[in-house]
Amino acid sequence: MKFRGKLVHIGCIQHFTNIVGTISKLIKTCIMRITMDKVFFILSERIGDGGAQIWCELSQSHFFDEYAMEGVSKEDNEIYLEVHPDLLLRSLKTAHSAKWVKVKLTKKHVPCLTVEIDLPGNSIHQRLVVHDVPVTVVARKLWPDYTEPEMPKFDVSIELPQLKLLKNVVDKMKNLSNYMTLSANANGDMKLSVETDMVAISTHFQHLPNPTW
């Protein structure tokens, strides 16, 4: 099993870091699946009927300038790793002004994702920072647990409005109540509301696209 990728453009480094950052805020551990074309971050909680599912699919060519991998076998040319996104995030955060970042699968005394970062220093000496992030290799027999979730049968599918505005509204509503009602229809209307014994607030978004699937 081999994996080696190099991120060069600072935009790509920061974008990748932001994605890992978002994932780390949602969950403590997840599956990182590495294929020839894509890198996935997957969470599949099996808690009774509910539980969250996260399927994050990244096209590797969008982020990596150099990318090479060799999976478990020729027929199953993929790698599944169990990772702690917050540990990965901590190493990536030091790369906010890096010249390049290399990520590789290594074996120190445990399997690791080794993150090598070339930091700008004075012109003569290179400053290299190396982080070893321990990971666990996921056996092939467990791979079927991590297939892409099926799109559920839905009544309404609606595109969210400008996220910044949405976040501001939800943050304020969060200060007023632990529970919020969210409703949407096929006419592009979405409503968020909160009701306590002191106040009732509703925010109405209109003309939102209803995507077809």
Partner 1 sequence: MLSTQRAGDDSQYLLVAKLDNARSVSNILKAIHFKDTAIIFASPMGIKVTVEDAKCVQANAFIQEAIFHEYNIKADQLAFKINLTVLLECLTIFGSSAVPGVCTSLKMCYAGYGCPLILMLEEEGVLTDCSLKTLEPDEVLDFDFCSTNVVNKIIMKSECLKEVFSELDTTSDVLQILMSPDEPYLQFSTFGNAGSSHSSFPKDSEMMESFQCSKTQTNRYKISLLKPSVKALALSARISIRTDDRGFLSMQYMIKLEDGQICFVEYFCSPDEEVNDGED
Q: Which stretch binds partner 1 (CB under 8 A): 21-29, 90-98, 128-136, 202-210?
A: 202-210
Range in contact with partner 1 (rule: CB under 8 A) among 1-9, 11-19, 100-108, 167-175: 167-175
**Half-sphere exposure in the Cβ direction for 143 (13 Å, CA):** 15
Q: Which of 175, 179, 182, 211 binds partner 1 (CB under 8 A)?
A: 175
Is residue 178 close enough to count as binding partner 1 by CB under 8 A? no
**Contact call for residue 179 and partner 1 (CB under 8 A):** no
Q: How far apart are CA 188 and CA 39, in angstroms?
A: 33
Which amino acid is present at 210?
N
Query: Per CB under 8 A, which region of 31-39, 47-55, 125-133, 192-200 contacts partner 1?
Result: 192-200
Which H or E element spans position 167?
helix 163-176
Q: How many residues bind partner 1 (CB under 8 A)?
A: 22
CA-closest candidate to residue 60, choices 78, 79, 38, 42: 38
* 105-164 binders of partner 1 (CB under 8 A): 161-162, 164
Measured from the CB of residue 81, what is the shortest distance to partner 1 in angstroms?
Answer: 39
Whose Cβ is closer to partner 1: residue 40's or residue 205's?
Answer: 205
**Which residues lie closer than 8 Å to 16 by C-beta, 6 or more apart?**
7, 58, 63, 92
Q: How many whole angstroms from its chain centre is CA 157?
A: 22
Q: Does residue 186 touch partner 1 according to CB under 8 A? A: no
